Amino acid sequence: MDEKPFETMNVIPLVDIMMVLLVIVLTTSSFIASGRIPVNLPQASKSVTEADKNVTIEIDLGGDVYFNGRKVAQDELRAALAPLAKDTSFVIRADQGITLQRFVDVADLLKQMSFAKVAVQTKSGR
């Protein structure tokens, strides 16, 4: 057998495989990063918000909803949101003991009324 040593190594197939893997990773990570509804846990790392420019919606442990400190029913909340501009920023402060459905009802109302700037306030875990 006449075996000659490798003079050069063909790396083109290796580069092709690495490029395909890179495309898969980048595509997958973009789907993960851009979910439809961003959700924060009750405890999260410190984040900075502009509290003075936000409209606050609070949900207490009993499930009562407060719009800027005033207790409102679901229909009253819809009426209070109607005159606001669509680019208004909202902060939802919900007690961690409420049912998820109550939170979803408020978030769904904001989505139905085409408000896109919605944040969930959490307390720092550290």
- Among 2-11, 16-25, 107-116, the range scoring the smallest mean pLDDT is 2-11
CA separation for the pair 59, 45 (Å, rounded): 21
Which amino acid is it at 35? G
- Cβ contact 82:113 at 8 Å: yes
Whether the per-residue pLDDT at 39 is higher than 50: the answer is: no
CA separation for the pair 74, 47 (Å, rounded): 29
Tell me which residue of 28, 23, 29, 103 sits closest to 63, measured CA to CA: 103
CA separation for the pair 44, 65 (Å, rounded): 23
Question: What is the pLDDT confidence band of residue 75, given thresholds at 50, 70 and 90?
Answer: confident
- Cβ contact 98:59 at 8 Å: yes
Tell me which residue of 52, 105, 53, 122 sits closest to 84, measured CA to CA: 53
- Domains (range + CATH), the chain: 43-124 (3.30.420.270)
With tokens 């902060």, the residue in question is: 91
Q: pTM for the full model?
A: 0.55
pLDDT at site 16: 93
